[in-house]
Amino acid sequence: MVAMTHVDAATASDRSTTARWVMVALSVALVAISIASLFVGATGLSPLGVIGDLVAGRPVDLRAQVVIFDIRLPRLSLGLLVGAALAVSGVVMQGLFRNPLADPGLVGVSAGAGLGAILAIVLGGLLPPAVGTAMGYSLVPIAAFVGGWLSVIALYSISTRGGHTSVATMLLAGIALAALVSALSGIMIYLADDAQLRTLTFWGLGSLAGATWSKVLAAAPLMLVGIFGAPLLARGLNGLALGEPAARHMGIDVQILKRFAILLVSAAVGAAVAVSGGIGFVGIVVPHLLRLSTGPDHRYLLINAALLGAIILILADMVARVIVAPAELPIGIVMAIIGGPFFLWILLRRRGLLEM
């Protein structure tokens, strides 16, 4: 990625060719890293042994079976979905706000989704039993989606006037929103009983631990809508990069574009936050790296962001599992250790961003 400052010398068509190659390379890397992640963790498993058993049709050792299929595979699926959802949401939010600093975690959208999730965890028991049972594991993701959606709408209507987004207002409104939300969350935590408290604490640190198939299935639809819906907005987001009037002049229905963008971001972020808590920085690191290497064309950016987001999250999860084995570090902490300095680096490199 370091060599990419020379991209200036490449022609535009070269950049889209590069973007396609990056897409291929990321897909291959994603598959390789996903397979590797199944064999990394507190319990040592020999990949060759398990694959050999599978190929030869021998029954796989029961312990390996449980570890891989009931623990690591759902966790891998969740990591793939959450990483892709967060990275794609970052791209869409940045396109919508026309600024590379708009990240769901930074501007309070994740916090809003989190409040939805906390409300569902603590007060979910108060729902009529029939409703609670019917929604099951979906209750928390859906509540988080609604929380995220309300936050994006609040944020957008506060920071955007006449199609112009004030970045300072956006960031400050995000701070206010996050503060308000954390106060409300605090009240909920105060009300929570011991078991709920434990759930909330681990959830808030950001973790893929405790992934189960039922959790994956409950959150997957919302995240998949975000991940696969976003590329449909690519042309519109490209146009929006030139501002609302220019986008409209080029034939884009800006109002519809914005509504869909907000819904997709809320769905993806809401579900991701509901199942994994506060994992930050994926939405800002991934799009930034990709824009440096292959340019801001959303047709490639959205797809590549999904792939790279999944890769980074799986890698971070592997680190989280290994570094203090047999215990594990919440992945949110790992991402913050990587993402915090990276964000500062972006700021130092492009001080002008805030004046935009």
Partner 1 sequence: MLTARNLTVHLGHRQILHGVDFTAKAGEVTAIVGPNGSGKTTLLRAITGDVGYTGDARIEGLDVARAKPWELAARRGVLSQFTGVAFPFTVAEIVRLGQSNGISGGGPDLGERALARVGLSGFGHRPYHDLSGGEQQRTQLARVLAQVWDPTGKDGANWLILDEPVASLDIAHQLEVMTLARDFALSGGGVVAVMHDLNLTAMFAQSVALMAEGRVVTQGDIGHVFTDENLSAAYACDLKVNTAPANATYILPHAASA
DSSP of 80-128, one letter per residue? HHHHHHHHHHHHHHHHHHT-TT--TTTTTHHHHHHHHHHHHHHHGGGS-
Interface with partner 1 (CB under 8 A), residue from 129, 251, 348, 355: 251
Subset of 290-309 contacting partner 1 (CB under 8 A): 291, 295-297
Interface with partner 1 (CB under 8 A), residue from 238, 266, 276, 304: 238
Sign of the Cα torsion 159, 163, 167, 171 reads positive
Strands 160-161 vs 164-165: parallel, antiparallel or unpaired: antiparallel
11 touches partner 1 (CB under 8 A): yes
Closest distance between partner 1 and the C-beta of residue 226, in Å?
Answer: 21
Of 11 and 351, which has the nearer Cβ to partner 1?
11
Interface with partner 1 (CB under 8 A), residue from 12, 48, 195, 327: 12
9 touches partner 1 (CB under 8 A): yes
What is residue 312's DSSP assignment? H
Sign of the Cα torsion 281, 18, 5, 239 reads negative
346 touches partner 1 (CB under 8 A): no
* Helix-helix angle 167-191:139-159, to 10 degrees: 150
CA neighbours within 13 Å on the CB side: how many for 16?
5
Residue 164, φ and ψ in degrees, nearest 5 = -110, 125
- Print the binding letters for residues 14-43 with partner 1: x by CB under 8 A, - otherwise: xx----------------------------
221 preceded by cis ω (within 30°)?
Answer: no
- Print the binding letters for residues 96-115 with partner 1: x by CB under 8 A, - otherwise: --xxx---------------
355 touches partner 1 (CB under 8 A): no
Closest distance between partner 1 and the C-beta of residue 220, in Å?
Answer: 30
Residue carrying structure tokens 């990240």: 103
Subset of 253-292 contacting partner 1 (CB under 8 A): 253-254, 291
Closest distance between partner 1 and the C-beta of residue 246, in Å?
Answer: 5
The candidate with the shortest Cα–Cα distance to 290, out of 269, 312, 314, is 312
347 touches partner 1 (CB under 8 A): no
225 touches partner 1 (CB under 8 A): no
Interface with partner 1 (CB under 8 A), residue from 235, 333, 338, 342: 235
CA distance 74 to 77: 5
Binding site for partner 1 (CB under 8 A): 8-15, 98-100, 235, 238-243, 245-246, 248-254, 291, 295-297, 356
